[in-house]
Structure 1
């Protein structure tokens, strides 16, 4: 019985992601999610009493899948440049499969700040201490330019995140169809890493 419940919950998550991604939180309907999952609305409400609670559960599940990956990258024993490449690869690969996540974060910060503040105060964020110290060491060793380590982290996340958040604007501005834009997103793994490395190395 427990396995059946787990499978049903996973099916609900997958269906909710699809509907939330295509229609957003405001436009999504619980009936649509139930239909997508192939269950009745009463069963959906058995697992999640409201659309907001389902949205928050999907948000938490996705975020907690990504956070450990980023933590592992930042705290590995790889070289600084390898970490930059690995970050770009893992982050973009994950978000390509979970396109809703960056938009969800922005939505929650704007529309439900209490939940966002509570969640982010409790969530286990990637700890960048080792990565920051590694940047300082590379500066001292004169292998990279004098930079603010925190600026580099902000650059890494910003360059990776915005093409997903700003997809409708950028896709229209660059006159790319869906398939072409998705190809651009995949190319950014190497593009971002090369650009950042070239900007800081001596």
Structure 2
């Protein structure tokens, strides 16, 4: 990838996200992304030699925005229940703006393991140590049920991400329009937090 001005990069990334969200990686074309960005295809290819490289750059950019938000939530001085609420709100809000992320991670783990291995070996992941210790402390204080803290963390991520990964299936099962499904996702912020809190609260 050539060095690229930040404002041009932002325009290209936003345009790519729009097209990737509509058509997925396989169905997207560089010409469509160039048209969406208001630049010619030659300029887009100058910065990104292929659709895969652009997709990877967009993914890295989005992931680097999400990780610090989750880190901040998990390591704040908020109560355990407040953290669960904030996590559900921030995570679902972010993925609604970057819906390609969960599917892309799964695709790359299966189809492009070298990129995934290289990226994940270098990426700054949220560190949940403080959060896990906080759960243990709440168990000792008997404010929550005796649970495996790591299981709660898995529940938080998996229950938040599946509605995005499984959206084609859920659309069919629920027979919902895009607008109706978006309303469910917005509603899910509070629903997920409430469900998790009630499942562990004494």
TM-score interval, normalised by the smaller of the two chains: over 0.9
Partner of 1:161: 161
Q: Deviations over 1:23-46 (max 9, x none)?
A: 221221111211221111111111
Structure 2 counterpart of 1:147: 147
Partner of 1:105: 105
1:189 corresponds to which residue?
A: 189
Question: 3-state SS of the aligned residue for 2:176?
Answer: coil
Other structure's SS at 1:109 match: helix
Q: Once superposed, what is the RMSD of the aligned Cα atoms?
A: 1.1
Give per-residue Cα distances to partners, 1:117-167, cap 9 Å, x unaligned.
111111000000000000001111111111000000000001100001111
Report the equivalent of 1:117. 117
Look up the match of 1:200.
Answer: 200
Q: CA deviation at 1:6?
A: 2.4
Shift of 1:52: 1.2
TM-score normalised over the length of structure 1: 0.95
Per the TM alignment, residue 5 of structure 1 is displaced from its structure 2 partner at its CA by 2.9
Q: Count matched residues.
A: 199
Post-superposition CA distance 1:4-32 (Å, at most 9, x none):
93222211111111111122212211112
Equivalent residue runs for 1:35-114 within 5 Å: 35-114=35-114
Residues 59-98 of structure 1, C-alpha deviation per residue, up to 9 Å, x if partnerless?
Answer: 0000110000000000001000000000001101111111
| TM-score, structure 2 normalization | 0.95
C-alpha distance in 2 between matches for 1:57 and 1:22: 18
| Offset at residue 104 of structure 1 (A) | 1.4
- 1:174 paired with 2:190, answer no
Which consecutive segments of 4 or more residues in structure 1 shift more than 4 A? none
| Structure 2 unmatched runs, 5+ | none
Q: Deviations over 1:161-184 (max 9, x none)?
A: 000111111011011111111000
